[in-house]
Amino acid sequence: MSIRPLHSPFLTRRGMLQAGAAGLLGLNVGDLWQLQAQGESNTGQAPRAKSVIYIFLAGGLSQIDSFDMKPDASEEIRGEFKPISTRTPGVQICEHLPQLAQHSSLWSMCRSVTHSTNIHWPGFHMMNSGRSSLPPGAEMRDGTPPTRHDWPGMAALVNYSISSTNNLPPAIVLTPNRELESASMTPGITAGRMGAKWDPWMIEASRGCGGHGCCPDHCYLFRTAEKFEHTKQPAFTPPRHLTLSDSLDELRFHRRNDLLATLEQQRGDLESRAAVQAMNPFRHRAISLLTSSQTRSSLFDVTAAHAREQDLYGRTQWGWTLLLARRLIESGVSMVQAVLGDYAPWDTHKKNAGLLRDFLLPPFDHALTGLLVDLQQRGLLEDTLVVVASEFGRTPKPQVMKGFPDGRDHWGRLQTALFAGGGVRGGTVVGASDRIGSEPTSEPQRPENVAATIYHALGIPRDTVWFDEALAEAKAQPYQLYHGSPIPGLV
């Protein structure tokens, strides 16, 4: 059993004996988390990747209109899009993903990811945490904010399992503006019952907008499914919660410790002020980071990047977000979760084809291809696992909603997830679905398998455990990190 202490990747058998001795001295699990392991480091397995970028398409990407097209199905089911051939023989994807088609040797896909819910928030919980079964008492409805009863998210578990090597935390979540609001921030993205000290950094990576989609040129209004004229400028700003005023010098910042107040504000819907003290492990790292103007400029201000670099990703919120993700993993962050979309723009109940064609697929195609090409050119792709998924897929049959006939509803039974880098063989297709894109017909994979693929790539041992911080010591039971096996056939 591997327990991760504060300053060591994993506690060894020797460290476990020391932990047992500490228990005899009256130290509880929370105290043990603060101990540094005295034994040698043991990662249990050689990591395939140094870092992971988990790209989350909030709302639910339609598998039939993107990566699992059904041209032989009825017109009602197959929709209006045409498949195009990729560079991988026999593999076709949507005509509105031409750049990914041309670079199919860089990525693979699993067409058989499945779980049981058609509700956004439980779907977020499952695909953020890698757990198909929700914790006791979890609400099966939309709009419920995260709580300390949630399962910890994958980013939080990476935060817990891997030590930081610099001033940045092991895991960071890049989230649009509205995701910071209590009503929109979704379950399974924090550390949940593991405790606030293991929350990943939540960085607001784009400026809010009254529309949905990909600002500034691909905005639409959700309630009408029509183009929204983006007026808020700039469309993307360096993370505002990591910005210091010009008048605040390093000494005054250290004295005032404004960072704590900022973090408290971000987590106000989750924790009281007292509980925020649990974030001490990252406090000094953040202060060191924020007081370096050079770091802030070179790392976070992606809109000042070289023109060729910005053009590679696209000068959009999603392009800049993925460019920032690449900079973060290049700087030593182990996992970056990038949420593409303010609230849930991929939730195409109305005008599914029009929204995908005009507002969603083109900037996604551009940004993701730019990321993969950039990682390859920099020699980072083999060391970086890139994963793309949603909370669920969408129904094969169209949905009629308030006069909008061209929509698709939520569908947890099937979605396609993409994988690239980190030892993944490019051009591979794992799993298959039935003739209408409704159910897996081979190699079904659950959220647990997606999570295990990430943990395994990072070299996290299979026997790693974590504890529920809220339970009394007498009732504390270890939870396994792994609840499935890595998806076979990808490596």
DSSP string, 288-323: HHHT-HHHIIIII-GGGS-HHHHHHH-SSHHHHHHH
How much is the pLDDT for 380?
98
Is residue 111 assigned to a domain?
A: yes
The total of structural domains in the chain comes to 1
Structural contact between residues 154 and 337, judged by C-beta atoms closer than 8 angstroms? yes
With respect to residue 21, please indicate whether it lies within any of the assigned structural domains.
no
Q: Does the residue 488 lie in any domain?
A: no
Q: What is the pLDDT of residue 292?
A: 60
Distance between CA atoms of 416 and 419, rounded to whole angstroms? 10
CB 48 within 8 A of CB 459: yes
Q: Order of strands across the sheet with 212-214? A: 212-214, 218-221, 226-227
Q: In this predicted structure, what is the pLDDT of residue 239?
A: 65
Q: pLDDT by residue for the chain (491 residues), tens digit each? A: 665 543 334 443 334 444 444 443 344 433 343 333 323 334 457 788 999 999 999 999 999 999 999 999 999 999 999 999 999 999 999 999 999 999 999 999 999 999 999 999 999 999 999 999 999 888 888 888 889 999 999 999 999 999 887 778 899 999 876 554 534 578 899 999 999 889 998 887 776 677 788 988 898 988 888 898 876 666 676 665 443 333 334 443 443 344 445 544 544 444 443 344 454 555 556 555 655 666 666 788 898 899 999 999 999 999 999 999 999 999 999 999 999 987 789 999 999 999 999 999 999 999 999 999 999 999 999 999 999 999 999 999 998 777 677 899 999 999 999 999 999 999 999 999 999 999 999 999 999 999 999 999 999 999 999 999 877 565 677 999 999 999 999 97
Residue whose tokens read 């476990």? 16
- Cα 418 from Cα 437, distance rounded (Å): 16
Integer Cα distance of 309 and 464 in angstroms: 39
Q: pTM for the full model?
A: 0.85
- Asked if residue 155 belongs to a domain, the reply is yes
Is residue 376 domain-resident? Answer: yes
β-bridge partners, 336: 53, 172
- In 3D space, the residue among 147, 139, 194 whose CA is nearest the CA of residue 171 turns out to be 194
Residue 412 falls within a domain, yes or no? yes
Report the pLDDT value the prediction gives residue 354, as an integer from 0 to 100: 95
DSSP letter (8 states) at residue 445: B
Is 480 part of a structural domain of the chain?
Answer: no
418: helix, coil or strand?
A: strand
Cα–Cα distance, 362 to 365 (Å, whole number): 5
- What CATH number is associated with residue 272? 3.40.720
Domain that holds residue 434: 50-461
Q: Is residue 455 part of a domain?
A: yes
